[in-house]
Amino acid sequence: MKLNQSSGTKGSVLIITILTLTILAFLCATSLYVASQNLNAGMQTSSWQQSLSGSETGIDLAIRALNISSTSPSTAWAGWRTGSLPSGTSLPTSEPTVSASPVPTAPPDSTHYNYLPSTNSNASLTVTNTEGATSVATWVTIDTAGMLPSQDTNGKQWYRVRATGQTAVSGPARVSGNRLDNSLRNTIGLLLNRKGGTFLGPTRTVEVILQPLSSGGWLRAITLSTKLTISGSGIVDSFDSSSAMYSTNGQYDLAHHLTHGDVGTASSSGSAISGSAHLFGSLAYSGPAVSGANATTVSGSITTPFNPTIPGTLDPVVKSGNSGWTWSNVTPQVNANWGPNMTTTYAMSNGLPKDSNNNVLTSVTATSTDPTAPTFFIFNSDFTVSGGHTFTVNSTSTDPNNPNYIVIWVKGKFTTSGTGILNQSLGSHVVWIVDNDITTSGDSYMNPGGYAKNTAFVQVSGAANPDGTFPQSHKVTVSGSGNFIAQVDAPNSTMVVSGGGYLVGAAIAGNLTVSGGSGFHYDEALSGAVSASLGNYAFASWFEDNSAPGRGINY
């Protein structure tokens, strides 16, 4: 059979070609769509993360400025500007225009804010010829947010820092095809900018509240380099021996107590608060959370980090040519200077000093009224007041507010044991420099009616190593049911307070265990004896503002 070949079938080649090209075009379009979506999603995510890095860098820049503001204001605020708060205590929500605003020389007061424009920020970066984000910009504001220094334990100003990181993406302003991504990363593109202004691109804003932490060791009840363990039913609180309102005759009184028994630990690993113990103050720490610390057991704030510089404690040193002795210590602040004939060294007999005639001494007397040239004795080995013995530190003064000063350097252990009693006269100011363990109690170290400012124990740790550790480590044991009134500066010690008695004063230690109903009554009068300089700032609050009010998106 033969079929007629119609001339009408000649166009089939064209149709088939068009059909084939159409199919291929669809395939290409699908490929491009899939590739475009992948690219946009990847670009969104990376830009989103870069914006967060930008905003967090802004926070760090603000902390640095605050930290060095008092010592290097011109360096601290280089590139910053200051302006009046737009209304009340509200910060601007979009980047202020950089103008001839004055350059700040200090942190802002209650009516101003300091800001670091993105054009002046070292954190801002522009990159050309890149497939990814072409720039990351950061602008930062600092203000007081209506918070007052009087609301802080140490009378310091808290600050609100708000930092915004912005990333400019290359290519067309186009959002991902997934609307869920748009809700999360809602500033990625098109004409949206939920923070106002003209900037287009992912924008992330972080707001932190910075709590100032004072560096002085006596600005809080307890300063530790490592672990804190508090158990039993004891408390940590405060009073003020210099105030009739917050003490009774200069002594702790629960009815007049205060809630500034602050505690800080620079390395909190293993720390815990248990039993019915309670901190009437704030807790600052670095490291893992302190077990059991919560709103029920801590009355004040719980903040992190806590990175204090804890100075080492040193022995007195002989001046060149044996021309005398010097000794300085940061906490308590003592800068003593003895002439060549102003020191007396005693050998020890059964723990007590003996004179050149081998007579055992049962007392020494403070006579100096000059705190920089105190009476100075050296006990050449362990000092022990054992059961049945009494040792007395006398003074010519009877006024604790105008005392006679004495420094006693114990080149060994300091021990009061059993029924041994060490009496300190009311008009004496005693600094014990101890080279080894300290063992005492409130029942055996008697300074009734005295103040912690007049009794200091300094346990020698040696100068701090570059990594913050100390070469010497000793123990401090405070036991008994009586109150032990003193300052204890033992930066690398294992300190134990037990037996139901309280340490009335303040302490610096390596690690601390408080048990058996014991606790601390921090004497706030000690804070006036040291410079209340700022050490650093801790985050009291961290919040990322991811809202888009114009789109009904919050949280």
> What residues make contact with other proteins under the rule CB under 8 A?
1-3, 5, 20, 23, 27, 30-31, 34, 37-38, 41, 45, 48, 88-90, 93, 145-148, 151-153, 158, 160, 176, 178-181, 183-185, 207, 209, 211, 259, 282, 285, 288-291, 293-295, 298-304, 538-547, 549, 554-555
3-state helix, strand, coil in the chain (%, to 5): 20, 35, 45
Q: In terms of CB distance, is 31 or 130 closer to other proteins? A: 31
State the sign of the Cα–Cα–Cα–Cα dihedral 366, 367, 370, 372. negative
CB of 124 to other proteins, least distance (A): 23
Q: In terms of CB distance, is 162 or 411 closer to other proteins? A: 162
CB of 170 to other proteins, least distance (A): 20
Q: In terms of CB distance, is 298 or 495 closer to other proteins? A: 298
Question: Which residues lie closer than 8 Å to 190 by C-beta, 6 or more apart?
Answer: 173, 174, 175, 200
Pairing assessment for the beta strands 159-169 and 222-224 based on DSSP bridges? unpaired
Q: In terms of CB distance, is 99 or 554 closer to other proteins? A: 554
Alpha-carbon distance 517 to 514, whole Å? 8
Q: How many residues in the chain?
A: 555
CB of 38 to other proteins, least distance (A): 5
Place of tokens 């609050």: 541
Q: In terms of CB distance, is 5 or 74 closer to other proteins? A: 5
Q: Which two tokens stand for residue 541?
A: 């609050």
Q: Which two tokens stand for residue 92?
A: 């601007």
CB of 2 to other proteins, least distance (A): 7
Q: In terms of CB distance, is 59 or 509 closer to other proteins? A: 59
Query: DSSP label at 375?
Result: E
CB of 352 to other proteins, least distance (A): 47
Q: Which two tokens stand for residue 44?
A: 């969104």
Residue-wise burial string across 156-170, b where 16 or more C-beta atoms lie within 10 A, e elsewhere? bbbbbbbbbbbbbbe
CB of 292 to other proteins, least distance (A): 8
Closest CA to 151 of 528, 525, 531, 540: 540
Alpha-carbon distance 477 to 416, whole Å? 11
Q: In terms of CB distance, is 184 or 244 closer to other proteins? A: 184
Enumerate the H helices of 380-452 as residue ranges. none
CB of 21 to other proteins, least distance (A): 13
Alpha-carbon distance 12 to 2, whole Å? 21
Residue-wise burial string across 380-418, b where 16 or more C-beta atoms lie within 10 A, e elsewhere? ebbbbbeeebebbbbbebeebeebbbbbbbbbbbbbbee
Q: In terms of CB distance, is 58 or 332 closer to other proteins? A: 58
Alpha-carbon distance 304 to 284, whole Å? 6
Q: In terms of CB distance, is 302 or 366 closer to other proteins? A: 302
CB of 207 to other proteins, least distance (A): 7
Q: In terms of CB distance, is 258 or 488 closer to other proteins? A: 258
CB of 279 to other proteins, least distance (A): 11
CB of 209 to other proteins, least distance (A): 5
